[in-house]
Amino acid sequence: MRDAPPNLDSTLLALADPTRRAILQRLTRGETRVTELAEPFAISLNAVSKHIRMLERARLVRRRRAGREHFLSLDPAPLDEAAAWIDATRAFWNARLDALDAMLEAEDQAASRTRKRKGPSR
């Protein structure tokens, strides 16, 4: 059973918003100026900035200053960690349920052998 990464909750909370997901999606194409990032959204730059700050706090996004320009880039590590936890947890339970299935099967086979030994009831 894998431990959840320490920022799993803040990672998934950060992902719980379509604007933030769209920002991350845009950043998968590479480093982007903040102003450029905010362009496609109907909401104000201020509102976009709030979303960006949340992504920064979750360490999903890094900021680089070059003069007056701010550039953002995606940090894939928290996403990778969240995905790894999800995978490991699913694998753990799939293995347990496989074992449950096998145990129930074995019970059925044992019961069926007992019935055969006893023969048809009169």
Partner 1 sequence: MSAGTTSAASHAAVRVTRRFGASAERVFDAWLDPGKASKWLFATGAGQMVSAEIDARVGGSFCFVDRRGGEDFVDVVHRGEYLEIDRPRRLVFTFFVETYSADVSRVIVEITPLGTGCELTLTHEKVPNDYASRTQAGWAGILDGLAGIVTPNERNHPCCT
- Residue 9 binds to partner 1 (criterion: CB under 8 A): yes
Sign, Cα dihedral of 51, 57, 61, 63: positive
How far, in Å, CA of 14 to CA of 72, rounded? 16
How far, in Å, CA of 47 to CA of 62, rounded? 18
Q: Among 91, 99, 110, 7, which residue's Cα sits nearest to residue 57?
A: 7
Binding to partner 1 (CB under 8 A): which residues in 61-80? 74, 76, 79-80
Closest approach of Cβ 2 to partner 1, in Å?
9
Q: Which of 37, 38, 48, 82 touches partner 1 by CB under 8 A?
A: 82
Binding residues vs partner 1 (CB under 8 A)? 1, 3-4, 8-9, 12-13, 15-16, 18, 21, 24-25, 28, 30, 74, 76, 79-80, 82-83, 85-87, 89-90, 93-94, 96-97, 99-104, 107-108
